[in-house]
Every structure is written in structure tokens, then in C-alpha cells.
Amino acid sequence: MRRGLGSIISDRSGVAAAEMALVTPLLVTLMFGTFELGKYFLDSHVVSKGVRDGARFAARQPFLEMPCGGTATDEADIRDIVRTGTTTDGAPPRLGYWTNPATITVTITCDSTAAYTTSGIYTNASGGARRVTVTAAVPYVTLFGFPFGAVNVHGRSDAGVMGI
């Protein structure tokens, strides 16, 4: 039996399958993009929290361990606090792919203005008040394990050092 052109055009069987075939790539892309964006924000939060913890730890170190313009005596411990949350060797990192402590930078600057050198805990501190800045730029790894070389998860925190 031969069907006419009009009956073929008005035939609705298979329309749902064709529409689903057209919409599915868009829906899958939107779904995985949402998951990926959520993971990026979570990882960014974890790095920021780690950097704050490292700056807080550095701020509690004595003046003698935080030389002006030098390297912190406990710099390895500061980096461990940032990356793993503890100073214990071999502790797992906060992010599974954050294995390189070289992504963390600890800098010490000193403010020698008169306000800091004339009174309080900074009176006898050579160089004045210390400010420790801890930063981290961690290369981001996607949900599927693909590293993005150009995308980093950043964190930065400042803290003043207490005199002990």
C-alpha cells in the first residue's frame, strides 16, 4: 500500500524520540557543567580555608621564627597546615590532587612605622610588626581527572605575628 506525501508529513510516530535525540546533548552538557562548577567552588573554598588556617598558624609563631625579609623557621609546617590541615608527615591532602607543597607561598613582610615600634608587643621587635601572607595557587583537576593547566584554585590570607 502506497502512502501519499500528506500522510507521511502528518505522521507523528517517532517525534518524541527525535526531540529527545536533539535535546539530550544539551541536557547532559548542562548537568555535567553544573556538577563541575560546584566542584570548582567547593575546591576553591577548601583552598581558601587551608590558606586561612596556615596564616593563623603562622601568626601564632614567635618573632624569632618569623624574621623580617627572611624565611619562616616553620615554613614547612605552615605549608603542611595549608595543604593537609596538620603538621603530621604523610597526612592526606585536603584535596586529593593537591600533592605539591610548592604551590603554597609564605611571605613575611614587616611594618616598621612608629605606631608599631613605640608600644605594645612590637616595642622590642626588630623591624616592627610582622605580617605573614600565605597564598596558594593549586592547578584544578576536573571531576573526570583531567588537569586544567590554565585554571587554578586560588587562596590568600594575611595575619600578623604575635610576640612571644
State whether the Cα torsion 92-96-99-104 is positive or negative. negative
d(CA 29, CA 26): 5
Taking Cα atoms as reference points, which of 121, 120, 151 lies closest to residue 47?
Answer: 151
In a 3-state reduction of DSSP, which class is residue 67? Answer: coil
pLDDT of residue 24: 96
Q: The pTM is what?
A: 0.74
pLDDT of residue 114: 47
- Angle at which helices 15-59 and 75-84 cross, to 10°: 150
pLDDT of residue 118: 54
Q: Cα 112 from chain centroid?
A: 31
State whether the Cα torsion 92-97-102-107 is positive or negative. negative
CA distances to 57, 79, 122, 127 from 115, in Å: 25, 31, 9, 12
pLDDT of residue 60: 82
d(CA 81, CA 75): 10
d(CA 142, CA 148): 7
The tens-digit pLDDT sequence of the chain (164 residues) is 566 666 667 777 788 888 999 999 999 999 999 999 999 899 889 988 998 898 888 888 777 777 776 777 888 888 899 899 998 888 999 988 888 888 888 787 766 654 455 566 666 666 666 778 888 888 888 888 776 655 677 666 666 655 44
